[in-house]
Amino acid sequence: MSTIFRGSGVALVTPMKENEEINYDVMDALIEDQIAKGTDALIVCGTSGEAPTLDDPEHLEAIRFAVERTKGRVPVIAGTGSNNTAHAVMMSEESEKLGADALLLVTPYYNKATQDGLYAHYRKIAGATKLPCIVYNVPSRTGTNILPQTMVRLAKDVENIVAIKEASGNLSQVAKLASLADGCLDIYSGNDDQIVPICSLGGVGVISVLANVAPKETHDMVMYCLNGEYDKARALQLRSIPLVEQLFCEVNPIPVKAGLNMQGFAVGLPRLPLTEMTAEHQKNLREAMEAFGVL
C-alpha cells in the first residue's frame, strides 16, 4: 500500500462569481497560496467544495483545472462520491482521465446502505479505476456510519482502497479501526479539532477545512505529530479550537467562505440552499481569525 500524502490536505472551497459561475482566477490564487504555505494535498469538489450543487460538467472542469494548475506539485484528490453507485463510477472514471491522483468517496447519503451495501458500493467504484481511493466517513452528514470491520474488510480485499477520512467524531471508533487495520490502510482526520488525537492513534494527516484559512498552521500541526513533537502539536491544536468552533458555527462551507473573503480571496457566497453567514457570526469569526494570527 502506498500513502497518497502525509500531512495536511485542504478541502478546497469552490470560489463563485456573483452570477454563481466558478471563479477560476480565484481558484488559481487559492491553489498557489495553499502550495506556497505548505499544504500537502488538494481535495477538490468535496463537501467544502459544494459538490452537491455542482453539475457534472462544472464538477469535472474544476477537477481538470486543479490538476492543470497544480502541475504535479502536490496530489489532487477528486471528490467523486455519490449515493448513486453508477454515478460515482462515472465521475471516478472521468476524474482518472483528467489526471487526478486519487479519489475521495463519501459514504452513500439519504438512501443509507447496510454494511454489506457499503462494501459492495465501494468495491464497485474501486474496481472501475486504478486510482487510490479514500473512503469518507461522515455520519453527521450522510446518516451512514461505515464500521471499522467493514472498512478493514474493504482495505484488505480491494487493492486500491487505501485510506479513510474519519469524520465520525468518535475517537473510540477510530482507535478500534486503527487496532483492526494494523497498518493496512491510512487514516486521515476529517475533523479539525481531532487532528492530534487521530495522529496519536497512527493517523497520517488531515483533510481539513481549517487549512483553507490557516494552511501553514494546519500543515505544521500534523508535521509536529509525525515527527513526534507532541507538545508543539498539542499547543497548536488547543490554540486552534476557538477558530475551529467558529468555522463550524454554521454549516460548512458557509463560515470558511466568509473567512476567505475576509482574507481577500473573493470566493463569493455559497450556492443555495446554503446562505451567507450572519453578521454576528462573521464578527465572531473575524475575532477568532485575528486571535489565531491568520487575519
136 classed as catalytic? yes
What is the identity of the amino acid at 211?
Answer: A
CA-CA-CA-CA torsion sign (217, 222, 226, 231): positive
Write down the catalytic residue from 119, 122, 136, 224: 136
Burial class (CB in 10 A: 0-12, 13-18, 19+), 114: exposed
Which residues are registered as beta bridge partners of 79? 104
Helix axes 279-292, 230-247, angle to 10 degrees: 160
| Spatial distance between the Cα atoms of 205 and 219, rounded to a whole number of angstroms | 9
DSSP state of 271: P
| Spatial distance between the Cα atoms of 64 and 60, rounded to a whole number of angstroms | 6
Write down the catalytic residue from 119, 122, 165, 224: 165
**Grid cell for residue 216:** 501553514
* Cα–Cα distance list, 60 to 22, 63, 96, 132 (Å): 12, 5, 10, 18
165 classed as catalytic? yes
| Spatial distance between the Cα atoms of 148 and 176, rounded to a whole number of angstroms | 7
CA-CA-CA-CA torsion sign (146, 169, 180, 188): positive
Exposure on the CB side of residue 231, measured as CA atoms within 13 A: 0
Q: Element (H or E) spanning 136, and its range? A: strand 133-137
Query: What residues are labeled active site?
Result: 136, 165
